Amino acid sequence: MPSQGTIGDRVRGLRLNRRMSQAQLAGPDLSDSYVSLIESGKRTPTPVVARLLAERLGCTTEFLLHGIEPRQRIDTELGLRHAELELQHGDPTVAADRFTEIVKAADEENAMLTAHARFGRARALEAQGRLGQAVEAFERLRREAAAHPERLADLPLTVALSRCYLRAGDRLRARDLAAHALDNAERLQITQGEIAIDLAAALVEAHGEHDGHSTELQYVEKVLATSGVPHVMDRSGEIHTLWQASVAAAAGDDSALAVRLADDAIMAGRHDRLALQLARTAMHWARLDSAPIAEAERLAEAATRAFAASGDNAREQGQSLIAHSRVRLRANDPARAGELAASALALVDEASGTQAAEARLLLGTVALDLGGDASAHLRAAHELLSALNRPVFGSDRQAARCWRELGDLYGRAGDRVQQTAAYRKALEAAGVRSAMAGVTVDASVSR
C-alpha cells in the first residue's frame, strides 16, 4: 500500500489501484465532486466519511488518515517508549541510536511521531555531553515548532536550549531563552508539572549567585513552594523489571501489552526524576546570596536528602553539601561550614574536578575565618584547578568562579603573586585570552 503523501494522495492511489472511478467510490452516500475535493486536498474527510471510504478502498481507517497500519503505528510507539527508557535509565548513546532508527523508518505522514523521535535524539545528545550537536538539533526543532505547532511544543524546546547554552558557557543566551520560556509559562499559568520544574531549574541555574532578586526567581520560588522537594525512593529495580517484561512481550508479538508495560516503567521513574530536578533547583536556590538563610538551609538539607536517597548521585549530593556549607558561612558558622565541606570532599574523587576544588576552597575559607593556616587547602585547590581540561565548547564558568575565589583567598592570605595568577586563570577560564600577557589584575575589580 502506498503510504506517502496526503490523505487525498492515498485515496486517489488506492482508488486507481482498484480501478474505481470517483463516482464508484462516492457511491450513493457521497458525491463524486466531494471525492474530488478530498483527493485534491481541499477537503478533509470526517471520521464517518473516512471509515466509509476505507471500507470501499479495502484498507483501515488508520491507514487512510495517518498513512500507517495499526501494527506499524503501535510498533513505532513502542520504539519511542523503549528509547525513552534507555535515555532515562540506560545508555544515552543507545537511546540516540534508537531514536535515529525511528526517524529513518518514519515517513512524512507520521510527522508528529518523527518530531518526538527527533526531540528524544536531541535530548540523548545532550545527555552524552555532545552540546554542539544538541543545540543544533534543538534549534532546528524549534524552527519547525514555529511552523508546525501541531507537531511540536515550543516551550520544552526553549527550556532545553537554555539548559544546553548554559552548560556550553553562553550564559546570556541561556538567560534570554529562559526568560522567553517564562513569558509563555506565566501566560498559561504553568507552575506545576514537568515543564514548570524544568523551567525553574533552568532559570535558577542561569541566574548568577550574586545577582539581585528578579521575576525569574519569583517564579522559581513559586514552583518550589508548590512542589517542595519530595522524598526520593530508588525504584530502579521495578523500572528495569517492567522494562524487560515489555521487551519480552514485544518479542512475543504482544505489542499492546508491551506498550502498557513500557508506560508503567516510564511512570515508575517519573516521580523520582521530577524530585531530583526539584532537588537541583533547591540546591542552586540555596547558593544565591539573596536567599534568606533559614530558607536556603532548609532547601539545601532537602536537596542533600534527595540525592542521598537516589542511590547513584554522590556528585550531586556533594554539590548540595557545598551549597549548605556556603549557607553556614553566610550565617557566620564556620565550624559547621567546615564539617559540611569535609563531608562533600569525602564523597568525590579528589583527583580532579571543580567540586573537589570548591570543597577545598571552602575549607580554606573556614581556616582563614578561624585564624588558622589555609595554605594546604589553597595549594590543593590550585592543583585541582590546574589539572582541569579546558571545555571544547565555550568557557568554563564554574572553573572561572573557583579561580576567582582562589584569588580572593590568596589575597586574604597575603600572597599577591598567586592572587594575580589566579585572577588571570579566572579570566582565561571565562574565555578572555586576548592581550593577557603582562597584564596585572587589580584585586579591587576582580569581582
Amino acid, single-letter form, for residue 426: A
Q: Where are the alpha helices (DSSP H) in 287-391?
A: 293-309, 314-330, 334-347, 354-369, 375-386
Alpha carbons 25 and 17: distance in angstroms, whole number: 12
Give me 93's grid cell: 548513546
8 Å CB contact between 307 and 323: no
CA 444 to chain centre: 38
Distance in angstroms (rounded) separating the CA atoms of residues 175 and 179: 6
State how far the Cα of 334 lies from the Cα of 393, in Å rounded to an integer.
Answer: 37
Asked, colleague to colleague, whether 7-66 and 349-447 share their fold, the answer is no
Cα separation of 181 and 163, whole Å? 12
Q: Residue ranges of the domains in the chain?
A: 7-66, 70-249, 349-447
Q: What's the Cα-to-Cα distance from 358 to each of 64, 301, 344, rounded to whole Å?
A: 61, 18, 9
**Cα separation, 360 vs 34, whole angstroms:** 77
Amino acid present at 42: K
Q: What is the pLDDT of residue 343?
A: 94
What's the CATH code, domain 7-66?
1.10.260.40
Query: 385: closest CA among 366, 367, 404, 368?
Result: 404
Alpha-carbon torsion angle 209, 211, 214, 217, nearest 10: 0
pLDDT for position 241? 96
Low-confidence ranges of the chain (pLDDT < 70): 1-4, 68-71, 106-110, 211, 349-352, 389-395, 432-447
3-state secondary structure string, 232-289? CCCCHHHHHHHHHHHHHHHHCCCHHHHHHHHHHHHHHHHHHHHHHHHHHHHHHHHCCC
The CA distance from 207 to 200, in Å, is 11
pLDDT of residue 328: 96
**pLDDT reported for residue 107:** 58
This prediction's pTM:
0.77
272-305 pLDDT per residue, tens: 999 999 999 999 999 998 889 999 999 999 999 9
- Residue 410's Cβ-count burial label (10 Å; 0-12, 13-18, 19+) is buried
On whether the CB atoms of residues 197 and 223 are closer than 8 A, the answer is yes
Closest C-alpha among 440, 374, 443 to residue 404: 443
Between CA 88 and CA 80 the distance in angstroms is 12
Architecture of domain 349-447 in CATH? Answer: Alpha Horseshoe (1.25)
- Please give the pLDDT value at position 351: 58
Measure the CA–CA gap between 129 and 135, rounded to whole angstroms: 11
**What whole-number distance in Å separates Cα of residue 110 and Cα of residue 105?**
10
Q: Architecture of 70-249 per CATH?
A: Alpha Horseshoe (1.25)
Q: Which amino acid is at 344?
A: A
Please tell me the predicted confidence (pLDDT) of residue 178: 94
Cell 540555596 -> residue = 286
